[in-house]
A and B are shown apart, each in its own frame.
Chain A
């Protein structure tokens, strides 16, 4: 039996892909397949799993797949840092397929820029059918003809042509690098991203990402693939939440991480209210008892991986009206120290930093800020473009 485990986020079409794969694999006589999803409270963007089982005999076992021949990640932020999870889920000789522009050192991981490819053809990043194409190359039980036939039988007619093109294109990209090879299969954007990442890496050194976190930190838990793999969030515009907050709020007063008050350092994985950088909470028990609720929140995962586009603020066009800050559903736009200066001086100097900045660790890329801006100072750019910079 061939088992395929799909990791995706609600809305990416993981279950659709799992079903289409099962349909494709069971078209031939004497072939059987089973497909089903597993998710918690439904949420567009939330992690979920789907399963496809393929066999030449009827399948009795209807339970979830623990170990699979192919583990597919429709979103690279779901691929765990240590490799522990996917290695546990992968049968020996199996393959991990991941939707990513990144490079992975482990040859069992095949990276495909499925967001880029599906955006090219569909105009939207819906990565699922890319992996049907990839599997039709890698997996003997799934042929291209049967994948196309499954798309024709199970998808609305208006989607046939484009998804067939996606399958063909995905096949080409996988074949181009050889069916046995690992590493990445990326488009042009991926190549640029790699160059940018390489240069960022060589200037910073890998130690850079370890500075702010112990094993529990957000940084480490989000680093995908093996430790050798470069992490694009090392690029300056992608600095971690802790770093950016310290730099932006406390930085101008000369604060650094090591000077962060103990109460905050003790719980680095716990969000600290922005006002604490200005006036840290008192440790007087009478006072502190009233402030313990500040540390009630506990953040272990970023939301950056939900995003296909990101807002970029044009400092010169920004007037500091703060509408983007006000209307952000996620509270990821924050005032920078220059916000106060902005308010005081309407004629700002050239090259001044914008009065607001975006927390890219938690921005979901909805674009509400760009619409709220009356001065066209916020532009939404594709993530692939941002990563390539």
Chain B
């Protein structure tokens, strides 16, 4: 296993540069950090979503890597095809990771079937879901990873409803339930943790999945300079968690093994986290309390794994 990566050891190369993402974009930070770990021989596939819209503004092409845009639903299928093609031609360098960057909608809603298929085939691919909790590229519509109470254009906040009515889908558990060799959750607020998970994933043969929380100042209603701070806070308050799943192939444990990388004894305030974002503005104190109860239940479950 290679040495841990950090700001000092990581390459100076910028492989995702000059892109047209909003100032303070969390998703672009996730792509940039992952590519710095994977290096120039990684091949990227991106479905419709912010990162493909901001990275390929012809003639402004912002990936130093080979990168292609896939149909919305096909990220994982295209990854499978790239990997098989490289192998068939005998042109796959040792350090070539075939990596996909899809948003929450492109992963949990539209691309879920292709992802499930690729995991089932155990193709040698890395799928990274940068989760900004709504379809931000098209102007903020709810996805199945939008959390309860978040205002989007399709879950407006008004007198009768206070934003999103459903709970965030537990995608990490869904992916882990496939018995995938490696799955992890991360946050751009804890970037070294994320980068080391990317490095670990790249060293494993077979299907890998990383789910990284990447706040979107435009859609979350927070300051452009708060992206990283909020991404830390969502972990600190317990509404997101840093975990790893190693399937039987990697851990040798039947059914696989879950590790909580961070298990805080005390959480910071859920209310403070929610109240600083415009999208949760309509939530009542009772609803905030229910989010907090949901968090506690989730952690009881996570700690039991």
Contact with A along B33-60 (1 / 0, CB 8 A): 1000000110000000010011000011
Q: Which B residues lie within 8 Å of A297 (CB)?
A: 17-18, 61-64
Is there a chain A Cβ closer than 8 Å to B25's Cβ? Answer: yes
Is there a chain A Cβ closer than 8 Å to B191's Cβ? Answer: yes
Q: Which A residues lie within 8 Å of B93 (CB)?
A: 290
The number of chain B residues touching the other chain, given as a range, is 35 or more
A343 and B23: CB pair below 8 A?
Answer: no
Cα–Cα distance between A241 and B225 once the two chains are bound (Å): 24
Is there a chain B Cβ closer than 8 Å to A298's Cβ? Answer: yes
A301 and B191: CB pair below 8 A?
Answer: no
Is there a chain A Cβ closer than 8 Å to B7's Cβ? Answer: yes
Cα–Cα distance between A303 and B218 once the two chains are bound (Å): 18
B227 and A368: CB pair below 8 A?
Answer: yes
Q: Which B residues lie within 8 Å of A154 (CB)?
A: none
Is there a chain A Cβ closer than 8 Å to B285's Cβ? Answer: no
Q: Which B residues lie within 8 Å of A37 (CB)?
A: none
Q: Which B residues lie within 8 Å of A41 (CB)?
A: 53-54, 137
**Known contacts A293-B66, A294-B40, A335-B12; is A43 also within 8 Å of B22 by CB?**
yes
Q: Which B residues lie within 8 Å of A331 (CB)?
A: 14, 16-17, 32
Cβ-defined partner of A43 (8 Å) among B15, B16, B20, B24:
B20
**Known contacts A273-B14, A323-B7; is A330 also within 8 Å of B225 by CB?**
no
Nearest chain A CB to B295 CB, angstrom units: 25
Q: Which A residues lie within 8 Å of B32 (CB)?
A: 329-331
Contacts of A329-353 to chain B: CB distance below 8 A: 329-331, 334-335, 343
Cβ-defined partner of A325 (8 Å) among B7, B17, B41:
B7
Is there a chain B Cβ closer than 8 Å to A300's Cβ? Answer: yes
**Known contacts A327-B191, A367-B24; is A362 also within 8 Å of B18 by CB?**
yes
Cβ-defined partner of B19 (8 Å) among A294, A323, A330:
A330
B229 and A364: CB pair below 8 A?
Answer: no
Contacts of A281-305 to chain B: CB distance below 8 A: 290-291, 293-294, 296-303
The DSSP consensus for interface residues of chain B is loop
Closest to B67 in A: A296
Q: Which A residues lie within 8 Å of B18 (CB)?
A: 271, 297, 299, 301-303, 330, 362
B65 and A296: CB pair below 8 A?
Answer: yes
Q: Which B residues lie within 8 Å of A364 (CB)?
A: 22-24
Cβ-defined partner of B22 (8 Å) among A44, A274, A343:
A44
Q: Which A residues lie within 8 Å of B11 (CB)?
A: 275
Cβ-defined partner of A366 (8 Å) among B7, B8, B23, B62:
B23
Residue of B17, B64, B139, B224 with highest tally of chain A CB at under 10 A: B17
Closest to A370 in B: B225
Q: Which A residues lie within 8 Å of B12 (CB)?
A: 274-275, 334-335
Cα–Cα distance between A326 and B9 once the two chains are bound (Å): 11
**Known contacts A43-B22, A322-B7; is A327 also within 8 Å of B14 by CB?**
no
**Known contacts A322-B7, A366-B224, A370-B225; is A296 also within 8 Å of B13 by CB?**
no
Q: Which A residues lie within 8 Å of B291 (CB)?
A: none
Closest to A275 in B: B13
Q: Which A residues lie within 8 Å of B191 (CB)?
A: 326-327
A273 and B225: CB pair below 8 A?
Answer: no
Residue of A42, A298, A326, A331 with highest tally of chain B CB at under 10 A: A331
Cβ-defined partner of B226 (8 Å) among A44, A273, A326, A371:
A371
Contact with B along A347-389 (1 / 0, CB 8 A): 0000000000000001011111011100000001000000000
A293 and B64: CB pair below 8 A?
Answer: yes
How many A-B residue pairs lie within 8 Å, measured between CB atoms? 139
Contacts of B196-218 to chain A: CB distance below 8 A: 217-218
B13 and A366: CB pair below 8 A?
Answer: no
Cα–Cα distance between A141 and B192 once the two chains are bound (Å): 59
A273 and B64: CB pair below 8 A?
Answer: yes
Is there a chain B Cβ closer than 8 Å to A46's Cβ? Answer: yes
Contact with B along A31-51 (1 / 0, CB 8 A): 000000000011111100000
Is there a chain A Cβ closer than 8 Å to B228's Cβ? Answer: yes
Contacts of B140-162 to chain A: CB distance below 8 A: none
Q: Which A residues lie within 8 Å of B21 (CB)?
A: 43, 329-330
Is there a chain B Cβ closer than 8 Å to A220's Cβ? Answer: no
Q: Which A residues lie within 8 Å of B192 (CB)?
A: 326
Cα–Cα distance between A187 and B24 once the two chains are bound (Å): 29
Closest to A340 in B: B8
Nearest chain A CB to B49 CB, angstrom units: 10
A306 and B64: CB pair below 8 A?
Answer: no
Contact with A along B158-200 (1 / 0, CB 8 A): 0000000000000000000000000000000001100000000
Cβ-defined partner of B17 (8 Å) among A299, A306, A323, A368:
A299
Closest to A301 in B: B60
Is there a chain A Cβ closer than 8 Å to B107's Cβ? Answer: no
Nearest chain B CB to A43 CB, angstrom units: 6
Q: Which B residues lie within 8 Å of A152 (CB)?
A: none
**Known contacts A44-B218, A303-B18, A326-B7; is A366 also within 8 Å of B225 by CB?**
yes
Q: Which B residues lie within 8 Å of A299 (CB)?
A: 17-18, 60-62
Nearest chain A CB to B225 CB, angstrom units: 3
Is there a chain B Cβ closer than 8 Å to A307's Cβ? Answer: yes
Cα–Cα distance between A45 and B19 once the two chains are bound (Å): 11
B17 and A300: CB pair below 8 A?
Answer: no
Q: Which A residues lie within 8 Å of B66 (CB)?
A: 293, 296
Closest to B25 in A: A329
Is there a chain A Cβ closer than 8 Å to B128's Cβ? Answer: no
Nearest chain A CB to B216 CB, angstrom units: 10
- 16 A-B residue pairings within 8 Å (CB atoms): A42-B137, A42-B138, A271-B14, A290-B41, A293-B40, A294-B64, A296-B67, A299-B17, A303-B20, A322-B7, A327-B29, A329-B21, A329-B23, A329-B28, A366-B23, A366-B217
- Chain A residues in contact with chain B, CB under 8 A? 41-46, 271, 273-275, 290-291, 293-294, 296-303, 306-307, 321-323, 325-331, 334-335, 343, 362, 364-368, 370-372, 380
8 shortest interchain CB distances as A-B pairs:
A367-B225, A366-B24, A322-B7, A366-B23, A364-B23, A331-B14, A41-B53, A326-B7
Given contacts A41-B137, A368-B224, 17 further A-B contacts (CB under 8 A): A43-B21, A271-B17, A293-B66, A294-B40, A296-B66, A299-B17, A325-B7, A329-B23, A330-B17, A331-B16, A362-B17, A362-B18, A364-B24, A365-B23, A367-B24, A368-B225, A371-B229
